[in-house]
Structure 1
Amino acid sequence: MAEIVYPPVIAAAKTMFRLLDMKIRIDGADRIPRSGGAVLVSNHISYLDFIFAGLAANPAGRLVRFMAKKEVFDHRISGPLMRGMHHIPVDRAAGASAFGAALKALKAGEVVGVFAEATISRSFTIKDIKNGAVRMAVAADVPMIPISLWGTQRLWTKGRPRRLTQRHVPISITVGEPMRPKRGDDYDAVTAGLRKQLEELLDRSQRSYPEIPQGVWWQPRHLGGTAPTPEEAAAMDAAEAEARRKG
């Protein structure tokens, strides 16, 4: 397919990274296959995660087609960009359509990006994840590659003001060992293994982060920060969902 929008967007992002002197570290980029389909499964801590998760595949010369909620595609600014980059809209009322589109892309040799937690983690830990990524990888017979992001929450996350021009922010992007689930596997057990690997990758990134002050909002509670605990975050998510339901 023609790539008119994606390459300029990547170039613009890299220019911005340089201007802001972001300290971006990518570990394990060689684990992204240079050809063929793959499901890239990332944690989710920022509204900008698709940019940085996609950056992990850049050394392999791959463009990642991210699955994102339909509302992003409906926006007058982000919508044309998302469609131009051939990302995949997800309408939660009609999930089968998004699954089918992702499967088609995978079988065509594309890398599809998935945020398995579905929503941003306010606690900056790994939330419960569903087995959709596993089912996609099995149906397309492609590897599933876990990836953790850390530092992106400092730029723009849920419940916090945007700080897009903040300079010198370290960003850690860590690619884990590919997983190859097969038909007949216990999908829930494989999903549990995926979550465990995401937790280990994220914990490694958090503990090796170059700036770890005590008591900051963007640090998880168990590492001395003031982010909500997973239980508090779950209660906040439930309250938000209830408010949305009531309109």
Structure 2
Amino acid sequence: MTQLLPAGSRPVRFGRLARLNREPTNRVLRIFAPWIHRVLRIWTRADWRGTENIPISGPAIVVPNHISSLDPVLVGEFLVYNGRWPHFLARANLFDNRIMGRLLRAAEQIPVFRASDKARDSLQAAEVALAKGHVVVIYPEGTITFDPDEWPMAGHTGAARLALRVGAPMIPIGQWGANYALPPRGIRPFRLRRTPVTLVAGPAIDLDEFNSALDDREAARAATTKVMDTITALVEQVRGQTAPVDRWHPKLDRRVPRAEAVH
């Protein structure tokens, strides 16, 4: 049976955002963040861990597991109330909505054009954001996990390639609970209740062993396996369970050895 929260979790204490986050940002994020925070505190009960691993300044790439349409908002709140303003790589179709698209662009979020000749543009835009000292958030899985037990699934190489190219620290996040607050794909009934959610940030992932092979496809795949292994270990910690030895590959619709679970 899936455990929602590990024992010993503690509620998060919040102060005024201006006191917790002094990093410069755009007007949209500054205005909307407190309102989103208030809604989330009605909807969820947060337990944040490993906040000391979030760099207080400078560029960083944040890589969370993906379990719900709600979890990007929770990850964003986690970063904002620990001093950093996030710049997400988000599906391009979200930018097609007239109102949401304007807000996302004004908030300096980055569209991802999957399976098109513009696919590389998102990583180039991410490089620009990192060069400005921003925090960029990339979901290596690319979409909400298809694993039947909601473990992290196969990863894409883009996040690892970006980290190797720019040398920014990569901070993993393991999370659990958003999939109960807003269940994905109808896997469980939606119930409006204050749901416990846990997010834990781990230390920066050491990818130095792959730096000598920046353009090596196999090195990028191996680095991605290490990234997904690190995220999975954090999810194990949050869930209080051990993940399957193999990892779900959505294209094959089954679990495969972890080294093969890379797009």
2:212 corresponds, among 178, 184, 188, to 184
Residue 109 of structure 1 pairs with residue 128 of structure 2: no
- The count of aligned residue pairs is 218
In 1, the alpha carbon distance for the partners of 2:78 and 2:25 equals 22
In 2, the alpha carbon distance for the partners of 1:162 and 1:78 equals 27
The alpha carbon displacement at 1:58 in A equals 2.5
Runs of 4+ in 1 over 4 A off after TM superposition: 161-165, 229-234
In 1, the alpha carbon distance for the partners of 2:145 and 2:96 equals 23
1:137 counterpart residue number: 163
In 1, the alpha carbon distance for the partners of 2:180 and 2:48 equals 18
2:123 corresponds, among 99, 121, 125, to 99
Matched letter for residue 187 of structure 1: A
In 1, the alpha carbon distance for the partners of 2:78 and 2:110 equals 19
| 8 Å CA contact 2:183, 2:189 repeated in 1 | no
In 1, the alpha carbon distance for the partners of 2:187 and 2:222 equals 38
1:200 counterpart residue number: 233
| 8 Å CA contact 1:156, 1:163 repeated in 2 | no
In 2, the alpha carbon distance for the partners of 1:162 and 1:206 equals 18
Matched letter for residue 102 of structure 1: A
Map 1:1-247; keep pairs closer than 5 Å. Answer: 3-20=26-43, 22-92=44-114, 93=116, 94-123=118-147, 124-160=150-186, 166-182=192-208, 183-185=211-213, 186-207=219-240, 230=248, 235=253
| 8 Å CA contact 2:66, 2:145 repeated in 1 | yes
Matched letter for residue 34 of structure 2: A
Give the structure-1-normalised TM-score: 0.79
| 8 Å CA contact 1:146, 1:176 repeated in 2 | yes
Identity fraction in percent: 27
Give the structure-2-normalised TM-score: 0.74
Q: Pairwise CA RMSD of aligned residues?
A: 2.7
The alpha carbon displacement at 1:31 in A equals 0.5
| 8 Å CA contact 2:56, 2:84 repeated in 1 | yes
- Unaligned runs of 5+ residues in structure 2 are 1-23, 214-218, 255-263
